[in-house]
Structure 1
Amino acid sequence: MMSNTLDGKVVLITGASSGIGEATALALSAEGARVAAGARRSERLEALAGKAPGEMLALDLDVTDQESVRAAVGRTVERFGGLDILVNNAGVMLPGPIAGADVSEWTRMVETNLLGSMYTVHAALPYLLERKGAVVQVSSTSGRIASAGNGVYAATKFGVTAFSEALRQEVTAQGVRVVVVEPGFVATELTGHITDPTMRDTARRLAASMRTLQPGDIADAVVYALTQPEHVAVNEILIRPTDQTQ
């Protein structure tokens, strides 16, 4: 059976200014989708839109701010006439031990990784139901396996998985597909945000010890899931570097 085409589909991507979000925006644009690329670093999005093979709207978007989220969804629908696909990619990873932690970093992760994805789904869902669209939730292997030093980050990603499964059960009979993508170690800017020196050094050593995934590898997985025939729902994709053991 022929794959589902993305030509003319309208996609909103969060966290699109770098890494997986940027690669996914370009990959979906190359497939013919009309892309609204959202992030806080709006100056990067203008450069991204200039590289896109198709029509792309740059959106100043902070997923932790419900008004910003609703405005981004509204601008997307106003520009393109609807919304078919939401890719929730915005995230931050700030690992460190629980004892002595700066709990403001916990708040930042919960607000961005978990609440941010929830806010965006909530704002986009009426339009996705109207068009029998799809939600792609970019999670992590940390959404399956918690590890020392990553307790709060893992908690947010476990939360994304739980929220996504409940969402799937609520909307699948109405034709909306929900996809959770769980990448392992990817060469992105995410580790550059780490403030704990020990965890930062650990992340660097891990990256040097393996052939890490590239953002385009995850973008290809997203394209795969979204181009399946309408009766096929790829609900979960776990993708690790071959060299990653955990």
Structure 2
Amino acid sequence: MIIIGATSGIGEHLARHAVNKGYTVGGTGRRIDRLKELREELGNQFYYAEMDVTHFSESRSTLHSLIEQMGGMDIIVLNAGISNHPASSIIAMEQKVIDVNISGFVQLFGEAFLYFRKQGHGQLVGMSSIAGLFGSSRAAPYSASKAFISTYMQAYRQRCNKLKADITVTDVKPGFVKSEMIEGKKGLFWVAETEKAVRQILKDIEKKKSYSYITRRWRLIAWFIKLIPNWVIDRI
């Protein structure tokens, strides 16, 4: 299993949980010090590589190098994402979110898909969000990017079915999970402990589910959101 974005939050805890369950795990991220700490903690079952997903050519090359070090890849978890970024303007901030959450995601998703097609099997796991079910005035690029990820993965799931490829596409849709991303934010509810969230994520990965709502109760919210008319959502 390779986790793109393993230096904090869900990615870091998932790496730890997966290794403890016997998986060989590769982790990537920009903060190399945190990856080294994970290696010291988890030992030889954890491999790591520094990666900035917005450096497209370099990140694709790094992925293949990590695969080679590990002796192969059966599962990739595309977890790298941001909700905002310090920038000189709103436009620059929103562009950075799009560069990471969409462009970075597409580059590595496509590379992994080609690898799995050649290999004959594999599982693509992408982290979208409940936030992708509706536009948010407070986080326009983030909610839009997560909607893109879900739709993109749905299209690839259809492609795999038409190709009769033994490739599973799993869309993980977390609600609020304790992490650096939500620190200081108000008005949150049903905030899940990170360890509980990653236990459910890994279980759904192992079951090769197409959709994974984290935690389970968020499935009810997702169904409810789909019933709300757009004119109501536009006034929230």
Q: Smaller-chain TM-score range?
A: 0.7 to 0.9
In the alignment, which residue of structure 2 is the partner of 1:183? 174
**Cα separation, 1, equivalents of 2:209 and 2:216:** 20
In the alignment, which residue of structure 1 is the partner of 2:143? 154
Match of 1:114 among 75, 97, 102: 102
* Residue identity opposite 1:118 in structure 2: V
Deviations 1:6-35 (A, max 9, x none): xxxxx1111100100001111221222211
Structure 1 residues 54 and 27 mapped into 2: Cα distance closer, same or farther (>3 Å)? Answer: farther
**Cα separation, 1, equivalents of 2:216 and 2:206:** 23
Stretch deviating more after TM superposition (26-35 or 102-111): 26-35
Counterpart contact for 2:6–2:15, Cα < 8 Å: yes
Structure 1 residues 55-134: aligned runs within 5 Å: 55-94=45-84, 102-129=90-117, 130-134=119-123
**Cα separation, 2, equivalents of 1:126 and 1:112:** 21
Deviations 1:98-155 (A, max 9, x none): xxx6111111111111111111112222322214110111111111122221222111
* Residue identity opposite 1:134 in structure 2: Q
In the alignment, which residue of structure 1 is the partner of 2:234? none
Structure possessing the higher relative contact order (Cα contacts under 8 Å, 6 or more residues apart): 1
Counterpart contact for 2:160–2:166, Cα < 8 Å: yes
Whether 1:218 and 2:218 are equivalent positions in the alignment is no
**Cα separation, 2, equivalents of 1:240 and 1:93:** 20
Q: Number of aligned residue pairs: give it.
A: 216
RMSD of aligned alpha carbons? 2.4
The TM-score, its normalising length taken from structure 2, stands at 0.83
**Cα separation, 1, equivalents of 2:6 and 2:123:** 18
Give the structure with the higher percent helix.
2
* Residue identity opposite 2:23 in structure 1: A
Counterpart contact for 1:35–1:55, Cα < 8 Å: yes
